[in-house]
Amino acid sequence: MSELVTLEEIEDHVMLMTLNRPDAANALSHDLLDAITDKVDEIQRSQDIRVVLITGSGNKAFCAGADLKERAGMSDEEVVSTVKKIGDTIRKIEELPMPTIAVMNGVAFGGGLELALACDLRMMSTSTKVGLTETSLAIIPGAGGTQRLSRLIGLGKAKAMIYSARPVEAEHAYNIGLVEYIYEPQFIHQEARDFACSIARNGPVALRQAKKAISQGYETDLVKGLEIEHECYKETIPTKDRMEGLTAFKEKRKPVYKGE
C-alpha cells in the first residue's frame, strides 16, 4: 500500500509534500490527516528545510476537502470532532516556521482550499477551480475558511464566495488575490520548483524571521508590528550567514548560507 502522504527533497532544501489519495480526490480522511501530521512533525524537526511545497497526486484534485463518504456514517459529535481535527492539522501547517507554497494542480474545495489558505503562497493551475462550497451542504467552512479567506481577499469578496458556494476559476482567483500565481497545468510544477529554489537560496534564518515578522505583525497594529519586526531583525544580526552575505557581496559571488 502506498503512503498516504509522501515527502521528498526535490531540490536542495526544498521539500515536496504530496497528498496521495488520487482515487478519492485527495480528500481529508482521518488516516490522511494523521499522515499529514506525521510529515509536518518531521518537517518541524529538520533545520535543513527552507521551503515546503504542498500538492495533490494526480492531475484532477489538489484536495477536494473533507471525506464525505467517511462522514456519512458519523454522529453529530463525531462530525464536529473531525472538523476540529481538520482545523488543527491545517493550523500545524500554518505554524511551520519556513515558507510554504500550495501548488493547486487540481480542484481545491472546502477543507482543501482551507489547507491552501494556511500556506504562505498559492499557485493554481489555469485548468481548475477552487471554492468554499460548504453552504451548499447546509454547513459553513469550519477549518479556518471564514477567517483566513476574508483576511486574504477582503470581507466582501469572501462573503460572496462563501454565501454563494460558487467555485471560482483561476483567472478570477488571481484577480481577487486568492492566489498569487496561475500557470498552465503542464508548467505549474516546474514553476513551483523554480520559485521555491529562488527562496531557498536566501538566508534560512532570515526567511524564518521574515515569516514570523509578517505573520505576527499582520494581526496587530502598526506600532506593535514594527516592534515585532525589530525583534525579528535582531535575530539575524549575530548569524554567520549575515557575514557570509556581506563577504559574498564584496567578493562578487553567490553566498552559501548554512542557517547559522
Q: What are the pLDDT digits (tens) for 83-137?
A: 999 999 999 999 999 999 999 999 999 999 999 999 999 999 999 999 999 999 9
Close Cβ partners of 55 (under 8 Å, ≥ 6 residues apart): 16, 17, 18, 19, 62, 102, 103, 104, 105, 189, 192
Query: What is the pLDDT averaged over residues 236-250?
Result: 92
Close Cβ partners of 189 (under 8 Å, ≥ 6 residues apart): 55, 103, 105
How far does Cα 189 stand from its chain's mean position? 15
SS3 61: strand
Q: Is the pLDDT of residue 1 over 80?
A: no
**Which residue, chain included where needed, has cell 482521518?**
30
- What pLDDT does residue 188 have? 96
- What pLDDT does residue 68 have? 82
Query: What is the pLDDT averaged over residues 235-260?
Result: 91
Calpha distance 64→41 (Å, rounded)? 23
> pTM (2 decimals)?
0.93
Close Cβ partners of 52 (under 8 Å, ≥ 6 residues apart): 14, 15, 16, 17, 43, 96, 98, 99, 100, 101
Calpha distance 114→146 (Å, rounded)? 9
Q: What are the pLDDT digits (tens) for 162-187?
A: 999 999 999 999 999 999 999 999 99
- What is the per-residue DSSP string for 75-133? -HHHHHHHHHHHHHHHHHHHT-SS-EEEEE-SEEETHHHHHHHTSSEEEEETT-EEE--
Q: What are the pLDDT digits (tens) for 128-162?
A: 999 999 999 999 999 999 999 999 999 999 999 99
The catalytic residue positions are 66, 111, 114, 134
- What pLDDT does residue 3 have? 92
Query: What is the pLDDT averaged over residues 30-56?
Result: 95
Calpha distance 203→88 (Å, rounded)? 29
- What pLDDT does residue 259 have? 85
How far does Cα 23 stand from its chain's mean position? 22
SS3 53: strand
Q: What are the pLDDT digits (tens) for 48-81?
A: 999 999 999 988 999 998 888 888 888 888 899 9
Query: What is the pLDDT averaged over residues 31-58?
Result: 95
Q: Across the chain, what does the average pLDDT equal?
A: 94
pLDDT confidence band for 211 (50 / 70 / 90): very high
- What pLDDT does residue 70 have? 82
Rg of the chain over all Cα atoms, to the nearest angstrom:
19
In 105-260, beta strands by DSSP E: 107-109, 121-125, 129-131, 168-169, 181-183
Calpha distance 61→202 (Å, rounded)? 31
Longest dimension (CA), the chain: 66
